[in-house]
Amino acid sequence: MKKFDRRPLALVAATLLLGLAACGPGDGGQNGTGDDSAATAPTAAGTEGTTDAPAPGSESGSDADGADRRIDVEAIGDGPIGLTTAEAAQNGDDASGRLITGPGGCFAVVDNAEPQLLLFPEDAEFVLRDGQPSVTTSGLGTVEVGKQFDFSAEAVALEDTAGIPDRCTHGEATEVLLLAE
């Protein structure tokens, strides 16, 4: 009977273990930025969100006049996910685009550029009408996914927000749009 050589099997096992270790949470962080300071926490709607803590000694959330500004976001639903906040746009610009369910199944807007996540006012209602997701706010009325709409919004750095689920931030955008009410 021929003796079985275990060396190739050991080499394959070691390679797999090294590969798995490279995929661990210390490599890219929970939020994919290399920063492990984000911790996952349930939101009021029962969906998974993130809570970001600034790194010690760092300053984030500063607006033009130097005041700290951190926008707390609540994720509503399991998919599509609506993002709401108590904050209102301070300097909204008029824009238009098409409502989509963008990165991670979160409501976003697209024009001729990359999709941008939308932060809706607290009164926003996210519903499925005839199989079509839609959002209703006092300022916008009802807008269905796939429809063009006009809005006023302020661009806010993604790093100045807390509570946006990781699955929503897999796109290229580094800003979100805070809708005016």
pLDDT score, position 159: 94
Q: Identify the residue whose tokens are 């911790």.
A: 39
pTM score of the predicted model: 0.63
Residue 136 lies in a domain: yes
Residue 49 lies in a domain: yes
Residue 145 lies in a domain: yes
% of the chain beyond a pLDDT of 90: 47
Residue 44 lies in a domain: yes
Amino acid present at 43: T
pLDDT at 30 over 90: no
β-bridge partners, 41: 49
Residue 2 lies in a domain: no
Condensed to tens digits (0 to 9), the pLDDT of residues 102-116 reads 878 999 999 888 899
Residue 35 lies in a domain: no
Condensed to tens digits (0 to 9), the pLDDT of residues 39-80 reads 333 333 333 444 343 333 334 444 444 356 799 999 999 879
For residues 5-33, average pLDDT: 39
DSSP string, 63-83: -TTS-B--EE-EEESSSSBEE
- Could you tell me the residue range of the domain that residue 88 belongs to? 40-179
Residue 165 lies in a domain: yes
Calculate the dihedral angle through the C-alpha atoms of 104, 175, 117, 60, rounding to the nearest 10 degrees: 80
Which carries the bigger pLDDT value, residue 176 or residue 68?
A: 176
Residue 65 lies in a domain: yes
Name the domain count of the chain.
1
